[in-house]
Amino acid sequence: MEAEWISLLAAHNGQRVKTCRENVTITVLYGNVVLGWGRVPDFCVDEWASMEMSAVVSNADVVLTDDTRRRLDSELLTGALELDVETRMWFPEGQPLWWECQDCSSPECLAVCRVNPGQGGYAPCLTRRCMQPNKACVRL
């Protein structure tokens, strides 16, 4: 059965220039198991500003084993559930990349956030990786 839920996201721009993102997608994972995915509307954040947005996440075609479902339910009930949210971003033409991920020539960047559902607040994305054919730069 397909279900959808809303994922709330925050974008913080600590730079001196307006920053825009387009074609952003998110994937929600439990361990290595995909729970859902969605597309974030294109957005811009003014210099030194923050904004909130939402994305509809779908779990169409996701099949969980009974064991995985039981572990997920148990961890959710005890408050121990941790999910990873991968955010794939493409930078529009002409957008500078140097503060996002140094030494990257690719316009694609991946941010991974670890979240604890039900505990409130936003989880910072601590890992950023720019994807390149033969090389990836990682900033922790």
pLDDT of residue 33: 94
Which of 57-61, 110-114, 134-138 is predicted with the least confidence, judged by mean pLDDT?
134-138
- For the chain, what is the mean pLDDT? 77
Domains and CATH numbers, the chain: 4-139 (2.60.40)
Give the Cβ contact number of residue 116 at 10 Å: 15
The C-alpha angle 93, 137, 38, rounded to 5 degrees, equals: 60
**Which of 62-95 are b and which e, b meaning 16 or more Cβ less than 10 Å from the residue's Cβ?**
eeeeeeeeebbeebeeeeebebbbbbbbbbeeee
**pLDDT bracket for residue 140 (50, 70, 90):** very low
- Read off the pLDDT of residues 15-52 as tens digits, 9 standing for 90 and up: 888 888 888 899 999 998 999 999 999 999 999 999 88
- Read off the pLDDT of residues 120-138 as tens digits, 9 standing for 90 and up: 777 777 655 555 443 333 3
**pLDDT bracket for residue 107 (50, 70, 90):** low
pLDDT of residue 130: 54
pLDDT of residue 4: 77
